[in-house]
Amino acid sequence: MNNIGVIELEGMEFKAYHGCLEQEKVRGNSFTVDFKGELDLSAAAASDNLNDTLNYAEIYDLIAEEMSVPSELLENVAGRIMKEIERRFPQLISFSVRVSKKRPPVEGVAQWSRVTLYHG
């Protein structure tokens, strides 16, 4: 029997240098990333063995690595993260990644700018 479930990592925080403006490239900004993945958790539910599930520490490390590479667009950052997750974790049925930039440089008040990409 399949036990389809969800593994999530929410609120991962990074200082990064993504953005189109020179000040963003020099001073950086605060970003959060949220990951949500759907997969069959039957084996892990029965075995209590990390090898039978998705190791979220590996997801975190992958995201941290991609966040360290400056990009002008959040779409590009999210796209690179998605591509690597798809390549390294084929057991995922579907997943999403949301990248949020704190206090984006706009004329007015905005707490966050966000991009969410979905796979599957």
Residues belonging to the active site = 101
Token pair 């008040």 in the structure block, residue? 109
Q: Tell me the C-alpha to C-alpha distance, in Å, between residue 60 and each of 9, 25, 63, 109.
A: 8, 23, 5, 30
Tally of CB atoms within 10 A around 9: 16
